[in-house]
Amino acid sequence: MSRRVVPEINAGSMADIAFLLLIFFLVATTMEVDGGIARKLPQKQPPNQIPPPKLKEKNVLQIAINRKDQLLVEGAQRVAIKDLKQITIDFIDNGGGVGNKDVGTCDYCKGAKSPSSSDHPNKAVISLKSDRGTSYGAFIAIHDAVGQAYTELRNRVSKERYGKSYEALIKQQKSDKSQKLKDKIRAIKALYPEIISEVEPTGN
């Protein structure tokens, strides 16, 4: 009686299929990327560096958030994060340096021109102070509100001068690499420079 021959399975094709599946999952799988806040850190100053001139108190908007995520403006006024954007706009766009030869008049500012608030957008400093116990969400919300304030002011002055918002100019830059467009964007940023100072967090 003859023995029954069992056919062998070609494992080579199985390896090929497994390899193709591996490549498919590597290509098709999406991976989450952690986001963050784009900030340029200050460079270490040389020891013989001349100290910067002292800022006028009225040219600094002090924003602080404690470990309970409570927001304080100018050390006393408790405000909601939703109101921070307008507070920041009013401060930056105040234009209170009317008649001040050292600062100059801001002819594009639409603010109240209060002598007790910022003199000029290029003098207005946003000072942010947080606590080590501050939640990450609240910290991001503050940065977002301040960023929106600058964007809104830049959009307004860009529409007045170029007929397009600042955000539209930024999007246009993806397809238009001309020097003329770069100069427009640079000019808008110079009118409302983003001057943000972050103080060392308090708490343990």
The domains of the chain are located at 60-150+194-198
Q: How large a percentage of the chain has pLDDT more than 90?
A: 58
In angstroms, rounded to a whole number, what is the distance separating the alpha carbons of residues 94 and 88?
Answer: 10
The confidence band for 50, taking pLDDT boundaries of 50, 70 and 90, is low
* Chain segment 146-195, per-residue pLDDT in tens: 999 999 999 999 999 999 999 999 999 999 989 999 999 999 999 999 99
- Inform me whether the pLDDT recorded for 47 exceeds 80: no
pLDDT of amino acid 105: 84
> CA 78 to CA 97: how far, in whole Å?
27
| pLDDT at 62 exceeding the cut of 80 | yes
Between 6 and 171, residue with greater pLDDT: 171
Is the pTM of the predicted complex or chain greater than 0.85?
no
Is beta strand 196-198 parallel, antiparallel or unpaired with respect to 125-130?
parallel
d(CA 62, CA 141): 16
Please give the residue that has the higher pLDDT: either 94 or 24.
94
- pLDDT recorded at residue 33: 61
**What amino acid is encoded at 11 in this protein?**
A
pLDDT band for position 27 (cuts 50, 70, 90): confident
Q: Structure tokens of 121?
A: 């957008």
User: Does the pLDDT at position 5 exceed 70?
Assistant: no
Alpha-carbon distance values, 134 to 64, 68, 72, 79 (Å): 10, 7, 13, 16
Interior angle at CA 30, CA 25 and CA 31, nearest 5: 115
Asked if pLDDT for residue 144 goes beyond 70, the answer is: yes
- At 88, the pLDDT band (50, 70, 90 cuts) reads very high
**Whether the predicted pLDDT of 7 surpasses 80:** no
